[in-house]
Structure 1
Amino acid sequence: MFAVVKTGGKQYRVTEGDVIKVEKLDGETGKSIVLGDVLMLGDDKGVKVGEPLLKDVSVTAEVLEQKKDKKIVVFKKKRRQNYRRKRGHRQEITVLRVTGIGKAAAKKTEAKAEEKAAAPAKAAKAPAKKAEAKEAPAKKAPAKKATKKTAE
C-alpha cells in the first residue's frame, strides 16, 4: 500500500517503513505525527484519488530526528557591474519514518487524540478550584500619611 502525502508545500509518495526528509514539523524525537493531507491512496485493488484530499485517511509517522539540511549556496552576480553577493542557507528539516497508512492509522490517531483531549479537561478543572480559593478578600496596604509642605 502506498500514499501520496502533502506537507511543507511538497508531495511525497510513501509506503510503510519509508524514511523521508520533510520541511520542519513540530514534534520531539520519538513522538508520533499524523499527516492528514493525503492526496492519493493505492494498493493491489486499485487507486483512490482525492478531490483534492481523501477524507478519513491519514498517514502516521515517527519523528527520527530534527536537524539542518545541507548548505545551499546563493550567489548573485550582475555582469560588468562588479556586483557579487554570496550567501549560504541551511534549511531545518524533520526526518520521519512512516509507521501506518490508511483508515486504520486514522482510527488509532483519533483514539490518541481523544485521550489527550480528556487529560487537559481534567487538568482544567483543578486550576478553576484554585482560582476560586484565591478570590478571598485581600488585606489593604496601610494608608500613607500626608505631609505638610512649608513655604520658605
Structure 2
Amino acid sequence: MSYAIIETGGKQLKVEPGRFYDIELLHNEPDEKITIDSVLFVQHDGEISIGQPLVSGATVEGTVMRHFRGRKVLVYKMQPKKKTRKKRGHRQEITRLMIDSISMNGSAIATKPESTTSDDTEDAPAEAVTAEVVAE
C-alpha cells in the first residue's frame, strides 16, 4: 500500500490512489486533471521519503469530481446580562478530489486500480452478440 501526505488548503492530508477526498475549494472545473506538488511524505513498499519541508520530485495527480458546500456550522455568540445575541451560519465550499497516482521523479510509483466490469460479457464482444440476434 502506497500513500502520500500532501498539503492543500492549509491542511495536511494522507492520500492513497483510487480514493476520493473532500478538500478546500479548488478553482478548477469538474473532470479536470490537477497536479499537487506540495508533497510532504511518500511511502511505497516500505521505502520512506520525508521532505524538508517538501519531497523533491514528488507529485500527486488527481481529478476534480465535483464542487459542493459542506454542512452548516452554527456560531452563536451571547453576552450574559447584556441582551446581546448573534447567531450566524457558515457553509464551507468543498471540492471532491479523486487521487489518480503518486509519482516520484516523473515515474508513477502508485496508480489507482482499474475498475473491473461484469464478467458476463468477457466471452463474446457486444457486437458479435447483437449480430447473432439480428441474423436469426
TM above 0.5: yes
Is there any run of 5+ residues in structure 2 with no aligned partner, and where? 109-136
Q: Which has the higher helix share?
A: 1
Higher RCO (CA < 8 A, seq sep 6+): 2
Show the counterpart of 1:28: 29
How far 1:46 moved relative to its partner? Answer: 2.2
Mapped pair 1:7 → 2:8: yes
Residue equivalent to 1:122 = none
d(CA) in 2 for partners of 1:84 and 1:45? 55
Q: Separation in 1 of the partners of 2:55 and 2:104? A: 10
How many matched pairs? 107
Shift of 1:107: 5.8
User: Between Structure 1 and Structure 2, whose CA radius of gyration is higher?
Assistant: 1
Matches within 5 A, 1:104-123: 106=106
Give the match for residue 46 of structure 2. Answer: 45
AA aligned to 2:39 is: V
Q: One-letter code of the match for 1:101?
A: I
Q: Secondary structure at the match of 1:72?
A: strand
User: Could you state the TM-score of these two structures normalised by the residue count of structure 2?
Assistant: 0.74
CA distance in 1, matches of 2:19, 2:36: 14
Match of 2:91 in 1: 90
Letter in 1 for 2:35: V
- RMSD (Å), alpha carbons: 1.5
**1:27 counterpart SS class:** coil
Tell me which stretches of 4 or more aligned residues in structure 1 moved more than 2 Å. Answer: none
Cα deviation, 1:112-150, whole Å, max 9, x if unaligned, reads: xxxxxxxxxxxxxxxxxxxxxxxxxxxxxxxxxxxxxxx
- Point out the structure with the larger strand share: 2
Shift of 1:102: 1.8
Match of 2:19 in 1: 18
- The equivalent residue for 2:122 is none
Offset at residue 7 of structure 1 (A): 0.3
* Structure 1: segments with no counterpart, 5+ residues: 109-152
